[in-house]
Structure 1
């Protein structure tokens, strides 16, 4: 069974995430990229690959707003990013819930503007729409409602039961456990664009024996050293066109 991450792998939502994070921090509902401070926006987009749970996105945006004018081209080191996250007292689950609530307010105010900030990753998305989707399983930090809404809008019908989402701060390890308890298969494969996510899954589930094969999607929200790190950990590294053709042949 091949399990998919969503944001970055199947759908490019980084600009919507930036706007929603900005809205959460400022208690407003901006709907366009040009309503954000542009240096902070570019800094956020450059460093988005550091974020794992989406509740950390507003923390990154806050830092970008603070330093964006002085250092808009900065590429944060992993240890620097982790230090920023550690300084936040609010639990990540609470931040995640507030992020999803802000996203829903944005969607309610102007659904067309919200959708416009998202884009399917091609050609993979088109191939997915042409294949039967009853066996498509998603493991994502995105909230369920947004995943269903965007997938439907862009022509991909996914069973609600097959979406393992980040609602209520549910982690990918917790959701992967549910997937494995449900399907009871001897082996799985999981594709994600976050080396940190893959590493956490690997260390948790593959300690005794290798149950989950890890695949790094090099086209997602990735840092300059991520592909090399993935290879060093022994994960398969795939390019978009290569993986799309492989998936089409499955």
Structure 2
């Protein structure tokens, strides 16, 4: 008998990749703008990049966000109206989402091929996550499933680095080229979904707009890439905010699968 599934985002829920995001974005930016990037000190932009990470939906946006910071774009405008700023920056630079995404992926692939341990060291699984995931994979009456916009090969490389074997059939990533709502619908129809844990506000509210998914419990990972204001208003929209301690506590009742 098939087990129900617990759907999990990867970045911002299981793994903290902020250091890697900034470092890879800086390398790509230096390629795109050698006349600026190679001479400019990008390090002072790191904290602003971290603060603005919640506005990013896809990896290709990261070098563009860094370019906006380097070009002196208004921080509040980037924070409140990133989609509009993003499109304007694409027009001004002539860059495309496809090219930026390819550059980011190729930069990661080359880095992993050159020194995988160095690349892995830029990531950190949130405290308690690895032990909790290992429990879920072996002892719980549900199947943990990752639904992410990250390339599957990068996810598997990170799990391998901490000694976790994640079943390939339960990893739904970028190569599927499907929105998370579509993946969740298929999982829900086939197995039933007991919960979806996501740190990105837009992804959770998108799920709420799909009639077939309106009965799925939604959880906001407040330790990830979202804002305090989003966490405060989550309950009003029927989204349960979770802190990391609750998420990693095997006795916590937040997930029905722990009953």
Report the TM-score range of the alignment, normalised by the length of the smaller protein.
Answer: 0.7 to 0.9
Deviations 1:121-165 (A, max 9, x none): 111222222443592200011110000010111122110111101
What residue is the counterpart of 1:153 in the other structure? 161
What residue is the counterpart of 1:31 in the other structure? none
Match of 1:65 among 65, 70, 73: 70
Q: Which residues of structure 2 form unaligned runs of 5+?
A: 33-39
What residue is the counterpart of 2:87 in the other structure? 86
1:204-215 aligned at under 5 Å gives the runs: 205=210, 207=211, 210-215=214-219
Query: Contact 1:219/1:239 (CA < 8 Å) preserved in 2?
Result: yes
Q: Per the alignment, do residues 50 and 130 of structure 1 end up closer, same or farther by CA in structure 2, a change over 3 Å counting?
A: same
Distance 1:178 1:106 in 2: 34
Q: Per the alignment, do residues 197 and 208 of structure 1 end up closer, same or farther by CA in structure 2, a change over 3 Å counting?
A: closer
SS at match of 1:84: helix
Deviations 1:74-98 (A, max 9, x none): 4556433222112225554553333
Q: Which residues of structure 1 form unaligned runs of 5+?
A: 29-34
What residue is the counterpart of 2:16 in the other structure? 12
Distance 1:140 1:227 in 2: 21
Query: Contact 1:53/1:92 (CA < 8 Å) preserved in 2?
Result: no
Distance 1:41 1:26 in 2: 15
What residue is the counterpart of 2:201 in the other structure? 195
Distance 1:109 1:11 in 2: 22
| Cα deviation, residue 114, structure 1 | 0.8
SS at match of 1:132: helix
Distance 1:176 1:124 in 2: 22
What is the RMSD of the two structures over their aligned residues, measured on CA atoms?
A: 2.7
SS at match of 1:189: strand
Distance 2:252 2:160 in 1: 20
Q: Per the alignment, do residues 102 and 169 of structure 1 end up closer, same or farther by CA in structure 2, a change over 3 Å counting?
A: farther
Match of 1:172 among 174, 180, 185: 180
Query: Contact 2:246/2:252 (CA < 8 Å) preserved in 1?
Result: no
What residue is the counterpart of 1:138 in the other structure? 146
Moved over 4 A (4+): 74-78, 246-249
| Cα deviation, residue 224, structure 1 | 2.9
Q: Per the alignment, do residues 47 and 126 of structure 1 end up closer, same or farther by CA in structure 2, a change over 3 Å counting?
A: same
With the length of structure 1 as denominator, give the TM-score of the two structures.
0.83
With the length of structure 2 as denominator, give the TM-score of the two structures.
0.80
